[in-house]
Amino acid sequence: MKTLTAEYYTNREVSWLAFNERVLDEARDKNNPLYERAKFLAITQSNMDEWFQVRVASLYQLRHVKEQQDVSGLSPHEQLKLVSDLAGQQIKEQYQVLNRSILPALEQHGLHIVSIEQITDEQRSELAGYYQSSVFPVLTPMADDQTRPFPFLATDSLNLVVSLAKGNEDRMAIVPIPDILPRVIAIPEFAGQYILLEDLIRLFIDGLFTGFRVKSATAFHILRDMELDVTDDEGPNLLVEVQQKLFERERGAVIRLVHEKNMPKRILGRLMRVLDVADSRVYAVNGPIDLDFLNKLVKFGSDPTARYPKYSQYLDESLSDERIFETIADHDVLLHHPYDSFKPVVNLIQQSAKDANVLAIKMVLYRVSGNSPIIAALSAAAHAGKQVTVLVEVKARFDEENNVHWAQELERQGVHVIYGLKGLKVHAKVALVVRREGDDIKRYVHLGTGNYNDVTANFYTDLGLLTTDAEMGIDVASVFNVLTGYSDPDYFNQLYMSPDGIREALIDRLHQVRAAKRAGHDVKVRFKANSLSDKEMVDEIFAASQDGVPVDMLIRGITMLKPGIPGISENIAVHSIVGRMLEHSRIYIFEIDGQAEVFLSSADLMTRNLSRRVELMFPILEPALAQQVIDVFDTMWHDNVKTRVLQSNDDWVKQNRRSTEPINAQKVFIADAVARVATQKQARERREAQQSQFEPVNHPF
């Protein structure tokens, strides 16, 4: 294998910004419905916010460690400078898309954000009543002077900084924008006219500072370091420790300041000093702060053609009621969400709660919805006297508070709750139902690539397996014994579990494929994941390429290797799909002479997933289902509408569709789901017609 030097790798943060640029491209793409383009633009904002709060914050903490370099040869300080500059350029591009494309198009569709300068006296009069009754009572102006410390500002908060004058004296005050109020407000009696909450406050701000003259009121937004660091040392109860860390995190260092471009220099300088934020992480924007307002604005839209068309998810009728046990016992079931409904997964837990033969339910919950039917079903099962054990990962990033709440609620309902593990996040997606059937005990298992979240399951693509395979059932039971007790099994029959187990399994199979290629066999490797940022895995993929193994990878986000380099990676191709659905499934396929081993996993090809998390990888044993997974991959691989192809210079290029039929993989899957729904409906109608045809006629007398 040739020596690998820094030039063959891409910095992970630069690669992440390239991913967010691909999302921004969807906001630019006029082939997308208008409201959806606006949402894509808002997504680029939320993506970048999270990235700053976690990844940039980590670089900031490491900026003085000069000897520590990433795979591309950059120190933390060099990375911080590079990505801060690139982020600034991307923020400018966001606002170019907003001002030149999205807002003018929304205005043509009857959704007009009215600025302070455009407000008429009549509109001001219409807004005055709402301001006085609903806004003014909840505002809290906070002075900044020598007698009072600068007020604490929460992360992700939007604020107005107000410059005031009284005689020859200048003052400054902060007015937090209340997040309990709607950000976008319809102007009464003016259809299609809307004002942002911060502008409404500015419109009447004189009333907050009687006796002073308001010289300026400009908006700004801050983000703090939000990384949650729970120590591995023996300490207090994990739940208590997480709750304490959440409190401390709210007061983390300010990692970014975004402000309106017309903010006075004196005011900006004061903010930078008191918030202790460097110039490299301060960004001026030409437009409304925090683009999330677009999500609120398009909710007022009434044009159905400006949204993605609705479609029917496929739901196998035999998986929607009590027949689900009989169906899974008869054959394994593969679910491809969101094209296949998530309801069978929910129904399995709901039926298990009601079924008298079900003895126990065990689950791992990483992220759940705010009103989760699975939580309700687990509570009902506990009330019914079943053994219910749930591991709730209270360290799930940005869902910590939600998960702490649900963990405590489940415990109150009589569920045995494990609050995660010390030093490891549990990211596996697994459920086990133990059912008595005659004199036997049968294990019903669900394994998936995505969370047990009935809301995100409608727009995240994930794959799941429902099975009663005996060996998998034994393995899953062993997994739960590891998570809840002190078990340390020597081996698993079918499953692989990280830390270490998944990495070893993937590398072992890459070695098998490489050996087969050297022996003259036809081989192929296909991976689909959210990110590829583990150096050991990257190097193993480089080695496979150098042995002549074709490696096709669908990677949605970060990709640290450069493909197409002669002698290094010329057999590697990397595609990325950003579309209507968020690609979330993980697929690993190894093929030798047409015989493929197909695995699904909760784990991405990232160091944290392979070395610092509990993850599961599982095989698809039924040949027909394995072929379905291969078909899913191949359909996506041939997508030429939403696909970008990674070049050796780190550019992402759209597929050349000249003289070819457009293939949008996600649309193909939607069309297939709609067709299966129609076929099932027709079959049901035929059965009903046959039944009615032979129904006996009651005696008329």
Contacts of 573 (CB under 8 A, 6+ apart): 550, 551, 552, 553, 563, 564, 645
Q: Which two tokens stand for residue 64?
A: 């003085």
User: 522: helix, coil or strand?
Assistant: coil
CB 517 within 8 A of CB 547: yes
Distance CA 421, CA 486 (A): 12
Per DSSP, what are the bridge partners of residue 652? 646
Distance CA 525, CA 517 (A): 11
CB 86 within 8 A of CB 17: yes
CB 220 within 8 A of CB 289: yes
Q: Which of 112, 427, 446, 584 is catalytic?
A: 427
For 482, other C-beta atoms within 10 Å of its C-beta total 14
The sign one gets for the Cα dihedral 478, 479, 483, 487 is positive
**Which is it for strands 425-426 and 430-437: parallel, antiparallel or unpaired?**
unpaired
Phi, psi of 690 (to 5 degrees): -65, -40
Q: Which two tokens stand for residue 149?
A: 């410390």
Distance CA 38, CA 559 (A): 26
- Counted residue by residue, the chain has a size of 701
Q: Which two tokens stand for residue 567?
A: 């002698």
CB 391 within 8 A of CB 365: yes
Which position has the token pair 């959440």?
246
Q: Is 273 exposed, middle or buried (0-12, 13-18, 19+ CB in 10 A)?
A: exposed
CB 43 within 8 A of CB 32: no
Q: Is 699 a catalytic residue?
A: no
CB 462 within 8 A of CB 450: yes
Contacts of 685 (CB under 8 A, 6+ apart): none
The sign one gets for the Cα dihedral 645, 650, 652, 653 is negative
Buried b (16+ CB within 10 A) or exposed e, 533-565: bbeebbbbbbbbbbbebbbbbbbbbbbbbbbbb
Report which of 81, 46, 41, 89 is spatially closest to residue 60, judged by C-alpha positions: 81
Beta strands in 187-318 (DSSP E): 193-196, 213-224, 254-260, 282-285
Q: What is the DSSP string of 609-670?
A: HHHSEEEEEEE--SHHHHHHHHHHHHHHHT--SSEEEE-TTS-EEE---TTS----HHHHHH
Which residues are annotated as catalytic? Answer: 427
